[in-house]
Amino acid sequence: MAISRRNFLKCAALTAGGAVLAESPFVRAGAKAVIKKDIRYVPSFCEMCFWRCGLIAKVEGDRLVKLDGNPLHPQSRGRLCAKGQSGMGLLYDKDRLKTPLIRTGKRGDGKYRKASWNEAYSYIAEKLTAIRKKYGPESVALFAHGSGGAYMGNFMEAWGSPNHSHPSYAQCLGAREVAFTLTFGQGPASTAERYDMANSRVMALFGSHLGENMHNSHIQDFVDGLGNGTKLIVIDPRYSTAATKSSMWLPIKPGTDIALILAWINIVIKENWYDHDYIAKYAIGFKELKEAVKNYTPEWAAKKTDLPKHQIVEAIRELGRYKPNVLVHPGRHYSWYGDDTQRGRGLAILNALLGTWGRKGGIWLPPKVNLAKLKKKIKYPKPKRDSLAYGDYPFSSAGITTEVRQATISGKPYPIKAWFVIGTNLMKTMPAPEITKKAIDNLDLVVNIDLMPTDMVMMSDVILPAASYLERHDDLAVVTQKNAGIAIRQPVVKPWKDVKPAWLIANELCAKMGLGKYIEYKTLEEHMREKAKLWNIDYDKLSRVGYIPIPDSYHPYITEKNQPKFDTDSKKIELYSSALDDEDMDPVPRYTHHREPPAGSFRLIYGRSPVQTFSRSINNKWLWELKNDNAVWLNADIARQMGIKNGDKISLINEKGGKSNVGRVKVTERIRKDCVYLIHGFGSTSKRMTMAYGRGIDDTQMMTHYATDPICGTNGLRVNFVKLLKES
């Protein structure tokens, strides 16, 4: 039978722009024939999460009826995950922000009045002008996640503030990127993650929630690897989805990963599993490394990690045996214990020793893309004061949200008086939300640009309703999988109500503040066309097919001609980091002990659901019906001791005595006794989120503190303990 996805594409490509009539399969036979409407297929890319998969939208008249993966686009390959499939749940959410709102009551009490865009801009302008006069333009800070962040970043530049910050750095993968950059001169991120999982012979995963964290093509690669016979080793205190696919599960004691990694490095060197030629050719610092790890024996690691010695040894030998076509996958959400850069260094060193960088089944080299830059027609002013968002860390490489928060409270090194927030629910992003509240108390202005009335949106003075990814253009995206290409985001339906795309909001804010000369384009599309022209891409074709590959970009593996470049100080892989040494930091990772939960307490571990993107999607009706609660995983033996049964009502108590919502417990064998686990992002406090409000437990609220990474300033979040209280 010839059912092929290709047919679908043909049909999509033919009809994009044009219109065909289609029968509806849903109507009751015999019921009156439905009026047949125009059906259009419009390609674009998803932003239900930040993987940004290519999609094809089926639009009936004015209404979006179906979203499918674009087979041409390498992040989706014709498939969309549950979130991507449910984009209409966001687009048509009745709780969506529909018009600008200005606060009338106290911050946080939810009282707003409707305002016109001009009123809202005027309100912002008045406050901003006063802040500039009293404190200087640098006293305005930005928190951004997602495509819209770039435009607000431009506004900040025009305005003259260097204080941009990104939760994706300090609360997520920052330390990993820094660690790999210190080692290889580059992080493993691209628009995907550069792990060659589909071709890996053996793969070790550290606490990664692959499969629970649904990043489409990443999971496709992972499963293709399993299909091709990848032997999977999973190190996780929890029998995660990934662990269920493993041939070796190492239920490690939380917080001791570095002990395992150091012992592995030691074994690789002592037992001669490393790739001699590769190390000789590309790396420096082998001798120093060897010396530094020599005392980290498997016996020692077994004690620290609570893992059997034979398992520790077996696992690393398996990796050694099949090197270099193996991978030590560091995971994506990375901010765990505050020594995360050092953990990342350890994993980078392991990958180096096994020779995986640039090898099949390891970490592929980025595609070669040579795209000219558009000439900047404008020059932004140079801020008078340095950014405070980088904090006092030698290797912070992006703005740190919690540094901005701290400065907002302390007024040091200088005051922060206004926050612009776009696409991030800070109350559920930064640990210790009571500190966030305290910071907000110090602000003269809080502006949120978002789609949904999230917890953070409900703390703001002015709410600007943004167009969703299905209603707007965003700048051309350079997709960097093994092959590179250009993808387009374009409106698949007209924006509803009184919402605007972020690029327009940023431009209009500029105009309002008298910064019109910094506006780069009248419409984003004109800018996109200009870029496409410069890059020799047929824009009209792009808008018909959604994705156009860049020829000859594929160079994933090391060959004689395709040599890797390491952008470190020495231009080599740095097993021993002189950059760290220069800053008086450990040039080779060292084991540090982390405090452990006292009796009756559990370490709080959080993770992801494949059908939710943090707290962003929890009000989406079609995802809500798949997952609307986050039961707390509790070890079955402990549950028995505590007299708790599966499904019982419970609450969590944090270390400052703060109590969570009442939720449910999942009694399971799939977790160690010293920790509990729940899915991040639940427990909305916003009454305007009618589906999500009050449902589930908020893990962020349970985080009373965090451990700051001294190297790069990221927030270790797995350092919190909770007690479990049975509720009736």
Binding site for another protein (CB under 8 A): 1-5, 7-8, 23, 25-26, 28-30, 65-69, 78-86, 88, 211, 214, 216, 219-220, 222-224, 226-227, 229, 231-232, 239, 241, 244-247, 249, 251, 610-611, 621-623, 625-627, 635-637, 668-672
Q: Which of 70, 460 has the CB closer to ligand SF4? A: 70
Choose between 169 and 624: whose C-beta lies nearer to another protein. 624
What DSSP designation does 358 have? T
Give the DSSP letter of residue 357. B
Residue 452 CB, nearest distance to ligand SF4 (Å)? Answer: 15
How far is Cα 142 from Cα 166, in angstroms, rounded to an integer? 8
Judged by beta carbon distances under 5 to 8 A according to partner kind, the member of another protein, ligand SF4, none in contact with residue 53 is: ligand SF4
Region class of 614: left (phi > 0), else alpha (psi between -120 and 50), else beta: left
Shortest CB 392 distance to ligand SF4, Å: 35
Beta bridge partners of 113: 102
Beta 663-668 vs 632-635: how paired, if at all? parallel
Q: Dihedral of CA 517/522/528/529: which sign?
A: negative
Cβ proximity to ligand SF4: between 12 and 292 the closer is 12
Closest contact distance (angstroms) between CB of 461 and another protein is 35
Please state, as a whole number, how many other Cβ atoms lie within 10 Å of the Cβ of residue 528.
Answer: 23
Burial class (CB in 10 A: 0-12, 13-18, 19+), 37: middle
Residue 238: partners with Cβ closer than 8 Å, 6 or more residues away: 251, 605, 607, 633, 670, 671, 672, 675, 677
AA identity, residue 658: G
Query: The tokens of 424 are what?
Result: 């991030």
CB-facing half-sphere around the CA of 471: CA atoms within 13 A:
23
Collect all residues with Cβ–Cβ distance below 8 Å to 27 and sequence separation of at least 6: 33, 34
Give the residue with the Cβ less far from ligand SF4, 51 or 566. 51
Of the pair 44, 685, the CB lying nearest ligand SF4 is at: 44
For ligand SF4, the closer of residues 430 and 470 by Cβ is 470
Question: Is 335 or 613 the residue whose CB approaches ligand SF4 more closely?
Answer: 613
Residue 88 contact among ligand SF4, another protein, none, beta carbon within 5 to 8 Å by kind: another protein
* Strand spans (E) along 129-186: 140-144, 164-165
CB of 45: closest distance to another protein in angstroms?
A: 16
CA 387 to chain centre: 23
CB of 85 to ligand SF4, least distance (A): 7
Task: Report, in Å, the least distance between residue 45 CB and ligand SF4.
Answer: 7
- Minimum Å gap between C-beta 68 and ligand SF4 is 10
Q: 576 touches which of another protein, ligand SF4, none (CB within 5 to 8 A by kind)? A: none
Closest to another protein by CB, 234 vs 466, is: 234
Per DSSP, the three-state class of 125 is: helix
**Least CB distance to ligand SF4 at residue 216 (A):** 4
The one of another protein, ligand SF4, none whose footprint includes residue 537, by CB under 5 to 8 A per kind, is none
Query: Which listed option, ligand SF4, another protein, none, makes contact with residue 26 (CB within 5 to 8 Å by class)?
Result: another protein
Residue 590 parent element (H or E): none
The H-or-E segment that residue 45 falls in is strand 39-45
Cβ closer to ligand SF4: 53 or 400?
Answer: 53
CA–CA separation, 439 and 43 (whole Å): 42
587 binds, among ligand SF4, another protein, none (CB under 5 to 8 A by kind): none
**639: Cβ–Cβ under 8 A, 6 or more apart, which residues?**
645, 646, 665, 667
Q: Shortest Cβ distance from residue 170 to another protein (Å)? A: 28
Q: Which does 339 bind (CB under 5 to 8 A by kind): ligand SF4, another protein, none?
A: none
Q: Which amino acid, one-letter code, is at 78?
A: G
Residue nearest to ligand SF4 as judged by C-beta position: 84
List all residues 6 or more positions away from 495 whose beta carbon is below 8 Å from its beta carbon.
467, 471, 472, 501
In angstroms, rounded to a whole number, what is the distance separating the alpha carbons of residues 259 and 279? 23
Q: What is the DSSP code string of 233-282?
A: EEE-SB--HHHHT-SEEE-PPTT-HHHHHHHHHHHHHHTT-S-HHHHHHH
Residue with tokens 């390959």, as numbered in its chain = 77
Residue among 60, 328, 327, 344 at smallest CA distance from 177: 344
CA atoms within a 13 Å half-sphere pointing along the CA-CB vector of 473? 13
Q: How far is the CB of 546 from ligand SF4 (least distance, A)?
A: 13
Closest to ligand SF4 by CB, 329 or 555: 329
Residue among 69 and 716 whose Cβ is closer to another protein: 69
The least distance separating another protein from the CB of residue 463, rounded to whole angstroms, comes to: 28
User: 309-321 and 257-270 helices cross at what angle (nearest 10)?
Assistant: 60
Choosing among ligand SF4, another protein, none, which partner's interface includes residue 112 (Cβ < 5 to 8 Å by kind)? none
Six token digits for residue 174: 């920052």
What does 211 bind: ligand SF4, another protein, none (CB cut-off 5 to 8 Å by kind)? another protein
Question: Which one of another protein, ligand SF4, none interacts with residue 52, CB within 5 to 8 A by kind?
Answer: ligand SF4
Find, among 719, 6, 176, 107, the residue nearest to 443 by Cα.
Answer: 107
Task: Give the C-alpha separation, 340 to 344, whole Å.
Answer: 6
Q: Calculate the dihedral angle through the C-alpha atoms of 444, 448, 454, 458, rounding to the nearest 10 degrees.
A: 30
Minimal distance, residue 502 CB to ligand SF4, in Å:
18
Contact criterion met (CB below 8 Å) for 673 and 660: no
Give the residue with the Cβ less far from another protein, 129 or 228: 228
- Judged by beta carbon distances under 5 to 8 A according to partner kind, the member of another protein, ligand SF4, none in contact with residue 575 is none
Rounded least distance, CB 210 to ligand SF4, Å: 12
Cα gap 134→468, rounded to integer Å: 36
Which of 83/253 has CB closer to ligand SF4?
Answer: 83
Nearer to another protein (CB atom), residue 23 or residue 584: 23
Footprint of ligand SF4 on this chain (CB under 6 A)? Answer: 46, 48-49, 51-53, 76, 80-81, 83-84, 214-216
The smaller minimum CB distance to ligand SF4, of residues 26 and 229, is found at 26
Q: Which does 51 bind (CB under 5 to 8 A by kind): ligand SF4, another protein, none?
A: ligand SF4
Shortest distance in whole angstroms from residue 329 CB to ligand SF4: 18
179 or 618: whose CB is closer to ligand SF4?
Answer: 618
Residue 514 binds which of another protein, ligand SF4, none (CB < 5-8 A, kind-dependent): none
User: Which DSSP string do the residues of 549-583 spell out, in sequence order?
Assistant: EPTT----S--SSS-----STTSSEESS-HHHHHT
Q: Report in angstroms how near the CB of residue 83 gets to ligand SF4 at its nearest.
A: 4
CB of 563 to ligand SF4, least distance (A): 33
- What's the rounded Cα separation, in Å, for the pair 327 and 350? 9
Q: Which does 246 bind (CB under 5 to 8 A by kind): ligand SF4, another protein, none?
A: another protein
